[in-house]
């Protein structure tokens, strides 16, 4: 059985596979550090989370293109702005920003305060020094670009409708995709610290539920939200320049 055929029959595997890929690529990078003689191979690999997220995104993009093609659809079409509803969609997007901004920021700050007493400790674990070439090529370019092309489309325009089709349960499809989108961050990077895992796993959960609901109601909002995602991830990568260096 071809891999594409298997994935088409098992959307749950597709959804969970993304999280597994994060861990797999981090383990691969850790193995390289171990071979090079590092005594803290896993910790060293965690610093390269923008790289293994990029690897994961390229892998997911490859399979998404094939999966859409198998359904007689073109993946790139989901990123097209629909002209007849452009004005209305732009207004909806502008209005949604009033909620998206606090929803995406407040849990991060609140959880850091509760779990660590502030942002300094978790950010020190999250943002570790990288070579300048990695910052300016991977963190600031490839990471945000591939995130925008893959993440929301992966969960909400492929996995969610496929799971709903398989289970005939819209609530289950919606909730599972939102939970997986939130939980995947605990693997970006994965560190064996329960507070860090909890901080990462929960910080984007409200954002996931809000954006998932928005895309279920109006899937044509994807290109707007993909651009927002690009900006958000680019802003996160900017912290490497302004925060660590």
Dump pLDDT digits (tens) for 71-98. 999 999 999 999 899 999 999 999 999 9
Contacts for 186-191: CB closer than 8 Å, 24+ residues apart: 187/19, 187/22, 187/23, 187/26, 188/22, 188/49, 188/53, 189/26, 189/45, 189/46, 189/47, 189/49, 189/52, 189/126, 190/22, 190/23, 190/26, 190/46, 191/43, 191/46, 191/125
User: Residue 230 pLDDT more than 60?
Assistant: yes
Can you give the pLDDT at residue 241?
79
* pLDDT for the residue numbered 243: 63
Q: Residues 170, 168, 14, CA angle at the centre, nearest 5°?
A: 75
Band the pLDDT of 16: cuts 50, 70, 90.
very high
Distance CA 159, CA 12 (A): 8
Both tokens of residue 242? 């302004």
CB 112 within 8 A of CB 200: no
* Cis, bond preceding 117 (omega within 30 deg of 0): no
| Mean local confidence (pLDDT), 31-50 | 94
For the chain, give the longest Cα–Cα distance.
59
pLDDT value at 7 more than 80: no
Q: Which tens digit of pLDDT belongs to each residue from 133-181?
A: 999 999 999 999 999 999 999 999 999 999 999 999 999 999 999 999 9
Predicted confidence band at 1 (pLDDT cuts at 50, 70, 90)? very low
How far, in Å, CA of 98 to CA of 104, rounded? Answer: 11
**Which tops the pLDDT comparison, 2 or 86?**
86
For 236-242, what is the mean pLDDT?
83
Over residues 183-210, the pLDDT tens digits come to 999 999 999 999 999 999 999 999 999 9
Reported as a single tens digit per residue, the pLDDT across 42-72 is 999 999 999 999 999 999 999 999 999 999 9
Place of tokens 């993304």: 18
- Give the pLDDT confidence score for residue 17 in this predicted structure: 94
For residue 245, the model assigns a pLDDT of 41
> What pLDDT does residue 112 have?
96
8-state DSSP, 36: T
């Amino acid at each position: 059985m071809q891999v594409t055929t298997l994935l088409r029959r098992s959307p749950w595997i597709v959804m969970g596979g993304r999280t597994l890929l994060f861990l797999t690529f981090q383990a691969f990078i850790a193995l390289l550090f171990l071979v090079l003689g590092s005594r803290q191979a896993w910790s060293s690999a965690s610093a390269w989370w923008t790289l293994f997220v990029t690897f994961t995104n390229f892998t997911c993009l490859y399979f998404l293109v094939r999966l859409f093609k198998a359904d007689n659809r073109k993946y790139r079409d989901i990123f097209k702005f629909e002209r007849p509803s452009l004005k209305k969609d732009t207004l909806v997007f502008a209005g949604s920003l009033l909620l998206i901004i606090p929803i995406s920021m407040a849990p991060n700050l609140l959880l850091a305060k509760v779990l660590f007493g502030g942002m300094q400790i978790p950010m020190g674990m999250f943002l570790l020094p990288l070579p300048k070439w990695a910052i300016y090529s991977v963190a600031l370019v490839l990471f945000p670009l591939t995130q925008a092309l893959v993440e929301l489309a992966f969960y909400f325009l492929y996995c969610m409708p496929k799971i709903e089709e398989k289970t005939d349960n819209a609530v289950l499809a919606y909730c599972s995709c939102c939970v997986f989108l939130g939980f995947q961050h605990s693997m970006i990077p994965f560190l064996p610290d329960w507070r860090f895992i909890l901080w990462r796993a929960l910080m984007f959960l409200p954002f996931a539920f809000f954006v998932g609901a928005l895309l279920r109601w109006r899937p044509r909002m994807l290109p707007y939200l993909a651009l927002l995602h690009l900006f958000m991830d680019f802003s996160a990568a900017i912290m490497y320049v302004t925060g660590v260096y």
